[in-house]
């Protein structure tokens, strides 16, 4: 299956990021996570499974804008934050409430799985 998925997504165009998704870096990370429910996608531009997550995260950002803030953090450009949060595989999605980690998901996840986890929190 992975071989099929890799071939399918390897040549996939990058999906434009929703305007409702915030791009994080070491300068704005703590400020963006300070209040409320925030899901951070730890990703890299070369990561095929990360590309597969892009449309899912766009949909979540558009539909759940009032419940959760969706953010992306490029691990290649922000290695210290990836180390701080022990991100060993990507994509890793970490759910924070008021700056504290409350859940984490590694690998490609469906929209229904993620929205269910967001609604639980």
**Given the residues 21, 33, 38, 47, the one annotated as active site:** 47
Q: Torsion angle of alpha carbons 73, 76, 81, 84, nearest 10°?
A: 130
**Given the residues 50, 54, 73, 87, the one annotated as active site:** 50
Residue 47 known to be catalytic? yes
Helix H or strand E segment including 59: helix 48-63
Residue 71 known to be catalytic? no
Q: Three-class SS of residue 27?
A: coil
Active-site amino acid positions: 47, 50
């Amino acid at each position: 299956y992975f071989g099929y998925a890799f071939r399918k997504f390897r040549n996939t165009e990058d999906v434009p990021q929703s305007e409702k998704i915030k791009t994080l870096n070491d300068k704005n990370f703590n400020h963006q996570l300070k209040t409320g429910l925030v899901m951070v996608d730890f990703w890299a531009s070369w990561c095929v499974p990360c590309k597969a997550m892009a449309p899912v995260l766009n949909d979540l950002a558009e539909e759940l804008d009032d419940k959760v803030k969706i953010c992306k953090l490029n691990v290649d450009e922000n290695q210290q934050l990836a180390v701080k949060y022990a991100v060993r595989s990507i994509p890793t999605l970490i759910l924070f409430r008021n700056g504290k980690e409350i859940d984490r998901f590694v690998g490609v996840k469906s929209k229904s799985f993620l929205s269910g986890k967001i609604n639980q929190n």
